Structures are given as structure tokens and as C-alpha cells.
Amino acid sequence: MSEQGKPEAQRGQSLLSVVASVFASMFGVQSSRKHQEDFRQGRISTYIVVGALATLLFILAVWGLVQLVVSAVQPA
């Protein structure tokens, strides 16, 4: 059966939709409707992997910003 023939509750989410949902939830702006959709349609393993990668990217961005500021403040 094709994706179009499946009921909405059984259709999977695209990776872009999962990434957008994870970033929205990280910033606390996830809507209730989208939150419910994620629980109905999403797979937990996908959200865990995307969430872990997003967290790693956030940590690396903060670390890079701190390194940039420290190197700019140090006397030459």
C-alpha cells in the first residue's frame, strides 16, 4: 500500500519534520498539536538520535563561541 493510502496515524514523519520538532521543543515553542502528532506518528529512536545530535551541536557551538571570546580577550 502506498503512503497516500495509509491513514494519517500510520504515516511516518520526514526527517526534516523530526528535526524541526526537536529544535522547536529545545526552545520551548512546540505547539500542542505538533506535540500530539509527534507522539502519534513518530518513532522514539529517530527522536533520540536527532535530539542527541542537536544537543551535541549546541554544546559544540557554545564551546566554539567561548573559544572565540577567550582568544579575542587574551593579550597578544
Q: Which has the higher per-residue pLDDT, 72 or 13?
A: 72
**How far, in Å, CA of 65 to CA of 62, rounded?**
5
CA 4, 22, 20: angle at the middle one, nearest 5? 55
- The model's pTM: 0.70
Q: What pLDDT, on a 0 to 100 scale, did the predictor assign at position 44?
A: 87
Domain ranges of the chain: 3-73
Q: What pLDDT, on a 0 to 100 scale, did the predictor assign at position 65?
A: 97
Q: Given a cut of 80, is residue 56 above it in pLDDT? A: yes
Task: Give per-residue pLDDT as tens, 3-26.
Answer: 455 544 445 688 888 998 898 888
φ, ψ (nearest 5 deg) of residue 29 = -115, 20
**How far, in Å, CA of 67 to CA of 1, rounded?**
53
